[in-house]
Chain A
Amino acid sequence: MHIDARLLPGDTLIEGDICIVGTGPAGLSIAMEWNHTPYKVILLEGGGFDYDDQVQDSYAGKTTGQRYFPLKSTRLQYFGGTSNHWAGFCSPFDPLDFEKRDWVPHSGWPIRKADLDPFYARAQKILDLGPYEYDVAYWQKRDPALRSLLPDNPAIWNKVWQFSPPTRLGQKYGSDVRQSKNIHLYTYSHLVDITANEQVTEIEKITVRNLAGRQHTVKAKRFILACNTIQNARILLAANKQAPRGLGNDNDLVGRYFMEHVEIKSAWLHLLTPDPLKLYLLDFGITKMRCELAISREMQEKYRTLSGTASFFPSAQAKNFKPSIDTWNDADPRKNEEIMKKNLAATHQGNVAHPGAGDTLFMFKTRIEQAPNPDSRVTLDTEKDALGMPRAILHWVLTPLEKRSIRKLYELIGQQAGLAGVGRVQLMEYLQDPGDDSWPEFTSGGWHHMGTTRMSDDPRTGVVDGNGKVHGIANLFVAGGSCFVTAAAPNPTLTIVALSLRLSDHLKRLAGGDGKKPNT
């Protein structure tokens, strides 16, 4: 059922079994797992069912360090969250992404890839993807035209992506939520405070507020913060009346280790004979899967690099390529989306996205993880939003390892292209000097926010444990990309949903089982 919190009498007490804060991919995925159960689920959304610029304003904040998008435009605050404008790119993380890598400081998750596999399979359905098949051979068997550019080799492999329509989760589940008897959706309920018990070991209540001036109290047995990476950190840091450094922040970790993907044009591939590279090209809304070239586990270990991938743009499309950091620069996300749509349409004019018989020149664009870095962080501003919450400040910092890894990726692709006799690779100018750690102006992110409430079994190195529970607080959980320890190469949404489903199962076990409410 749906309740507009602006219409409730002031200081209404809302009570339930679990309270989920946020209706994006993390929060809504969890909520739907609890539909038709005996549990009363309080689902809180800061906005309504449509974009509202006044509501969205609470996401505005300063950025320092590496050039970045306007914060207000990177996440959406209305039902469905940022799934309302995501692009639908999905691929699971690799086993190595979860492991401790001695050349990647602060790497190592408390869970393994195998722990997430069953949840990845379930997440595929939520995001309307195909089968949980990410082996290129599976797809090549069904379409022999999906030929590999580089034959089997130990350095570079074909990493599969699948594409969601993209699913707008608010549209997909809106009706189900409204009709649900046990999910109580409260829109215009923006979390502004968290109150714990005296020992700060358990959350007693949270306070929500809206621009209509109404404030309400929510009590539940368990609370799940599923807002987004910046907002999760902002909320915990701002909840500082009982814990001066913020909740869950005894070890000064909340907000640190903010990660993005570096997305940047990087090199050229010159082929000796024209090739359409069907396996690698993307036509938005049509392509169901494609591959990107990825650096193998063995090479990551040998050369001590990060995980990254290379995607292809035919030469005609490359000519129209505009770095997202140069085009997504309005505070209003709707204006940026319009510009992006126009750019996308321009690149498709003349069928340049699919060069028919083939092309001989392709541009490579990189997506690479950034090394977890405590200096890359979210902090609180002294300036407050209209609801009285301190605004977020993002200080995004990259390290030399990211750039060195990009260079090695194309060195290896170039080596394999030469060995296979298919062509040659030329690095772009900014990568040509191995001693140059600077980043060009067109360095972009992927709008992928991760890491500010990182996961670890040790409270000294993580904000939440392997299940997403905040260390030291019995009934407070965090869901979403903020729990990521490392960023891997893939876009994060599939892993966010998988991790959220895993948390949901954990919460069901804590609550007494799947679908049966315990007597006690």
Chain B
Amino acid sequence: MLTVAGAVSMTVPFAGCGRGNKALTAALARPDVLSHICDVAAIGQIGAAYRAQTPSEARQDRLTELLLPNPGLPMADGGKKQTTGIDETRLPKLLEEKIRDDYAGGKIVIIKGWVLSITEARQCALYSLGLQ
């Protein structure tokens, strides 16, 4: 199981990403609650299972697009949804709200037995891409 410090340091080594994209992806690929419950291997397995179950979301760009809070994602350089210049400090809070909305709206999936919000599952999927 990850400690809080361990969860914070969990990174996703995407080759070819710019510095901003890399940090953003790392933030998106960090399922906060699950990281307090599961170890990184389990998160990777959940992510791989989600990708296998949902092939249309198996790519990094697609997962990133789906995970970005929308609309109204705070941008440092404007209001359009993009993967650079995002205020990453607010991202965890926005993801938390998105996850809560998922649970409230019944947007849940069962992956390897875990009852998860679809956002959490996508976060795991994004994380698992970095393990490949």
For A427, list chain B residues within 8 Å (CB): 110, 113-115
Contact of B113 among A415, A417, A426 (CB under 8 A): A426
Closest to B106 in A: A415
Which of chain A's residues 395-450 have a Cβ closer than 8 Å to chain B? 410-411, 413-419, 421, 423-429, 431-432
Is B123 at the interface (CB under 8 A from chain A)? no
Are B36 and A272 in contact, CB atoms less than 8 angstroms apart? yes
Complex A-B: 17 CB contacts under 8 Å: A267-B113, A270-B37, A411-B110, A416-B103, A417-B115, A418-B108, A419-B103, A419-B104, A424-B33, A424-B37, A424-B115, A425-B114, A426-B113, A426-B115, A427-B110, A428-B113, A429-B113
List of A residues within 8 angstroms of B108 by Cβ: 411, 414-415, 418
Collect the chain A residues with CB atoms within 8 Å of residue B117's CB. Answer: 418
Contacts of B34 in A (CB 8 A): 424
The reply to whether B114 and A272 form a contact with Cβ atoms under 8 Å apart is no
Chain B residues within an 8 Å CB radius of A418: 33, 99-100, 102-103, 108, 115-117
* Contact (Cβ within 8 A) B116 A432: no
Tell me how far the C-beta of A365 lies from the nearest C-beta in chain B, rounded to whole angstroms: 16
Cβ-defined contact, B37 with A272, below 8 A: yes
Say how far B31's CB is from chain A's closest CB, in angstroms.
10
Distance, CA A411 to CA B106, complexed state (A): 10
* 16 new A-B contacts at CB < 8 Å, known A416-B103, A424-B37: A272-B36, A411-B108, A414-B108, A414-B114, A414-B116, A415-B103, A415-B115, A418-B33, A418-B103, A419-B100, A419-B104, A424-B114, A426-B112, A426-B113, A427-B110, A427-B115
Q: B114 to chain A: which residues have CB within 8 Å?
A: 414, 424-427
Q: How far is the CA of A418 from the CA of B33 in the complex (A)?
A: 9
Q: How near does chain B come to A430, taking the closest CB pair, in angstroms?
A: 10
Q: Interface code A70-82, partner B: CB below 8 Å = 1, 0 otherwise?
A: 0000000000000
A423 touches B110 (CB 8 A): no
| Chain A: minimal CB distance from B74 (Å) | 23
Chain B: minimal CB distance from A422 (Å): 10
A residues near B112, Cβ cutoff 8 Å: 426, 432
Residues of A within 8 A of B116 (CB): 414, 418, 424
Q: Mask for B86-126, Cβ within 8 A of A = 1, else 0?
A: 00000000000001101110101010111111000000000
Beyond A411-B108, A415-B108, A418-B99, is A432–B113 a contact (Cβ under 8 Å)? yes
In the complex, the chain A residue whose C-beta lies closest to that of B99 is A418
B46 to chain A, nearest CB (A): 10
Q: What total of chain A residues lie within 8 Å of the partner, measured CB to CB?
A: 22
The 9 closest A-B pairs by CB, nearest first: A414-B115, A419-B103, A427-B113, A418-B103, A270-B37, A426-B113, A432-B113, A425-B115, A426-B114
CA distance in complex: A416, B106 (Å)? 10
**Complex: A416 Cα to B113 Cα, angstroms:** 16
- Separation of A429 and B106 alpha carbons in the complex (Å): 22
* B103: A residues at CB distance < 8 A: 415-416, 418-419
When distances are taken between beta carbons in the complex, the residues of chain A under 8 Å from B106 are 415
Q: Which residue of B lies closest to A425 (CB)?
A: B115
Q: Mark A168-207, 1 if CB is under 8 A from B, else 0.
A: 0000000000000000000000000000000000000000
Q: Which residues of A contact B113 (CB under 8 A)?
A: 267, 426-429, 431-432
Return the chain B residue nearest A416 by Cβ.
B103
Contact flags A263-300 to B (C-beta < 8 A → 1, else 0)? 00001001010000000000000000000000000000
User: For B104, what are the chain A residues with a Cβ–Cβ distance below 8 Å?
Assistant: 419
Distance in angstroms between the alpha carbons of A212 and B105 in the assembled complex: 69
Chain A residues, Cβ within 8 Å of B37: 270, 272, 423-424
A contact residues around B36 at 8 Å (CB): 272
Nearest CB to that of B113 among chain A residues? Answer: A427
Residue of B nearest to A417 (CB): B115
Nearest chain A CB to B90 CB, angstrom units:
19
**Chain A residue nearest in CB terms to B46:** A426
Q: Which of B33, B102, B110, B115 contacts A272 (CB 8 A)?
A: B33
List residues of B (10-39) whose CB comes within 8 Å of A's CBs.
33-34, 36-37
Query: In the assembled complex, how far is the CB of residue B107 from the closest CB belonging to chain A, in whole angstroms?
Result: 10
Q: Which residues of B contact A423 (CB under 8 A)?
A: 33, 37
**Cα(A409)–Cα(B106), bound, Å:** 14
Digitize A231-273: 1 where CB-to-B-CB distance is under 8 Å, 0 elsewhere.
Answer: 0000000000000000000000000000000000001001010
Tell me the complex Cα distance, A461–B113, Å. 40
Q: Residue among A267, A421, A424 with the most chain B CB within 10 A?
A: A424
Residue numbers in A under 8 Å from B33 (CB-CB): 272, 418, 421, 423-424
The residue in chain A whose Cβ has the minimal distance to the Cβ of B115 is: A414
A76 to chain B, nearest CB (A): 39
Asked if residues B115 and A421 are in contact (CB atoms below 8 Å), the reply is no
* Distance between Cα atoms of A432 and B45 in the complex (Å): 15
Q: Contacts of A414 on B, CB cut-off 8 Å?
A: 108, 114-116
Q: Which residues of A contact B102 (CB under 8 A)?
A: 418
Q: Determine the chain B residues whose CB is within 8 A of the CB of A415 once the complex forms.
A: 103, 106, 108, 115
CA distance A272 to B106 in the complex (A): 21
- B100/A421 in contact, CB under 8 A: yes
Do A410 and B100 touch (CB < 8 A)? no
Q: Give the CA-CA distance A270 to B37 in the complex, in Å.
A: 7
Q: Which residues of A contact B99 (CB under 8 A)?
A: 418
